[in-house]
Amino acid sequence: MGRRSIDPQGDGRRDRGRRLSDKGDGRRPRTRVVTGGRRPEWTQGIVNPPVWRASTHLYESVAELRARGRDTHHKLFYGRRGAPTQWSLAEALTELEPGAAGTFLYPSGVAAIAAALLSMLSPGDELLCTDSAYDPTRSLATGLLKRFGVSTRFYDPLIGGGIAGLIGPQTRAILMESPGSLTFEVQDVPAIVAAAKARGVVTLLDNTWATPLLFPAIEKGVDLTILAGTKYVAGHSDVMIGSVTAALACWDALQETSRQLGQVASPDDAWLAARGLRTMAVRLEAQAASALAIAQWLAAQPEVAQVLHPALPGDPGHALFTRDFLGASALFGVVLKGGDKGRVALLDGLALFGLGYSWGGYESLALPVDPARYRTATKPDFAGPLIRLSIGLEDPADLIADLRAGLDRLRAVEGR
């Protein structure tokens, strides 16, 4: 086989003169999940782009080496700039965000959040961060960012357009998470984006709960949208990966900072995540349908004080949710009656729900959540202890039976 018989770089013509997600080919999101990033030069005649595992690319000549240094986009250069496996996944994620300029991949969701923030913030800047943020996001703000001279104010996730009153001369960025992945408040993202745009402030959204399938963030005016691909994209609880998809105005800064930080997602993890992505739409639909049925069932149980699921008509975020989202995913909260003892009894005996961090996999998980421990701007006022459920692909009737037995254990130890 000749050295040039496989050409993963193509001739570069496909890239020229257009931004990746502006294809205008009319394909719907569910189709894009299947077709995205599968360029013939990357798949080489098979269906899935193979795993290109490499640090070193070999050049034919010094002249070629020198020329490549000036143009590395979708060209093999050095392992840290990736290879077709990562380019393909990044392009597929970009294609799910109409209007986006590009996607950078990271070895975890937290790494993605860190790179996105570091690419936008400088010493003296202020970050406005939702008080409902994922707790490692808070640690980043109060730890590393603070050490490098960036201050953070946490804001009430229900603030909406009122965020305009918090934007000061030093405010440079707003980090949203909607719904909050622990307490499920839905934010008025369009109102916050409008207030930010009016003052030249950059908006970032941790969109892991909805994914671009249920909330196309760039189209809604968000500048940088972040996914923990570890969750629904990979979908099988065996990969750590993250991504940031950027609007054009932020794309160059994001790439530059991410490269300076030395960020790279491994080809094996990118390959697994791309494999997961192909079934994400059907997994989300099936898991969301089960989750809603289970949430409705839980809401009717006497041991349950409140179910935190924005697709339920009684949920405080329901109106914003139906206005802005194309559907729900399969992660929600349950406020129990009683105390921690009952909660522990419920969780400890679950047979089908795993007890563990993370979510978004094909299997169901449960977790105790204690938001009062870390929140500072607002005190969540729940009537009892909170648990979080990630609903998987098991038969929902079996999951309900597992939860029924758990509620019986709760009642027994609470002496009711």
Ligand X SMILES: *Cc1c(COP(=O)(O)O)cnc(C)c1O
Catalytic residues: 80, 134, 206, 231
Nearer to ligand X by Cβ, of 37 and 242: the residue is 242
DSSP alpha helix (H) spans, 199-279: 211-214, 248-260, 267-277
DSSP alpha helix (H) spans, 265-362: 267-277, 280-299, 318-324, 340-348
Nearer to ligand X by Cβ, of 49 and 109: the residue is 109
Residue whose C-beta lies closest to ligand X: 109
Report, in Å, the least distance between residue 65 CB and ligand X: 35
Nearer to ligand X by Cβ, of 195 and 226: the residue is 226
Report, in Å, the least distance between residue 170 CB and ligand X: 25
Q: Cα-flanking dihedrals φ and ψ of residue 185, to 5°?
A: -75, 135
Other CB atoms closer than 10 Å to residue 50's CB: what's the count? Answer: 16
CB 409 within 8 A of CB 345: yes
CB 228 within 8 A of CB 242: yes
Report, in Å, the least distance between residue 177 CB and ligand X: 6
Q: What contacts 7, CB < 8 A, 6 or more positions away? A: 41
Report, in Å, the least distance between residue 137 CB and ligand X: 7
Nearer to ligand X by Cβ, of 111 and 247: the residue is 111
Measured CA to CA in angstroms, residue 209 lies from 101, 153, 183, 227, 296 at distances of 22, 23, 12, 8, 19
Instruction: Return the closest-CA partner of residue 273 out of 248, 307, 242.
Output: 242
Instruction: Return the closest-CA partner of residue 146 out of 129, 166, 169, 168.
Output: 129
Report, in Å, the least distance between residue 46 CB and ligand X: 28
Paired tokens of 329: 């995913």
Nearer to ligand X by Cβ, of 20 and 234: the residue is 234
Cα separation of 337 and 384, whole Å?
A: 5
Cα separation of 321 and 334, whole Å?
A: 18
CB 186 within 8 A of CB 310: yes
Nearer to ligand X by Cβ, of 112 and 298: the residue is 112
Q: List residues near ligand X by CB under 6 A.
A: 108-110, 134, 177, 181, 206, 208, 228, 230-231, 240, 242, 358
Cα separation of 229 and 277, whole Å?
A: 9
Residue labelled with tokens 């399938």: 213
Report, in Å, the least distance between residue 313 CB and ligand X: 25
